[in-house]
Amino acid sequence: MYLMINGYREVFATFDEPLNEFKSVAVTRVLHDFYEMDTKLGFYGGGGIDARLGVPPMGFALGNVPAGAPRWGKDYKNWLESYSRTMILASHATSLPVETNSISLDADLKDAWGLPALCMTYKDHRDDLSTTRFLRDRSLDIADAAKATKVWAAPVEQQSFAVHLLGTCRMGNDPKTSVVDANHRTHDVPNLFLCDGSSFVTSGRGQPTMTIQALAFRAGHQIAAAARRGEI
């Protein structure tokens, strides 16, 4: 329960001059203005906007053609040649913990070893979609202010793909409503510690990696201390 995946949408912007955004280390989270947004907007949420091009040429050609961009012929060739002149404004937004969003075992589908396949049940909260739409529109404003010659905006719709899987084994004091305690130790199995993004009770407002690392280091210290006390 309470699976969260972060809202995410991209705006592609092409310019007259080379940007070479693909070189060196990809910059992440360059705009923090909307981490806490005014609830008078009519929805709860927040997030940040990255400005980068974090895909290699082949990925750009095959996997990152935005909606509305050409996909065949001369126009597609011209699109590919714009690689060095293109950047992506990517918005990362909140994903509210919804009880019905979950990972389970499929009742019918089996994997190559005959084991039940994973089944992901997920639907964005309406506030998540509103937050993502707001950040997408601000990305369009940035591209316009930067005088991009061409802009492609991904539509805001229910997500079916994600790379930030959070929640489902949430942290808490009550075994009835949580899976791990404050030290990442599972309530039911004392020798089992879960030190990944599954312990999150909220999604945060963007890239969760650093928070996961910090919690894992803290859990490591707690595990070592428990071992010295002979508790595990």
As to burial, measured by CB atoms within 10 angstroms (0-12 exposed, 13-18 middle, 19+ buried), residue 4 is buried
Q: What's the rounded Cα separation, in Å, for the pair 49 and 132?
A: 10
Residue 40 carries which DSSP code?
G
- Two structure tokens written together for 22: 């693909």
**Is 184 an active-site residue?**
no
User: Distances in Å between the alpha carbon of 72 and those of 79, 127, 146?
Assistant: 10, 36, 28
Print burial letters for 180-198: b (CB count within 10 Å at least 16), e (below 16). Answer: bbeebbbeeeeeebbbebb
Catalytic pick from 164, 184, 187, 221?
Answer: 164
Nearest CA among 135, 114, 102, 172 for reference residue 10: 135
- Listed in order, strand segments (DSSP E) in the chain are 7-14, 47-52, 86-93, 102-110, 116-121, 150-153
* Active-site residue list: 164
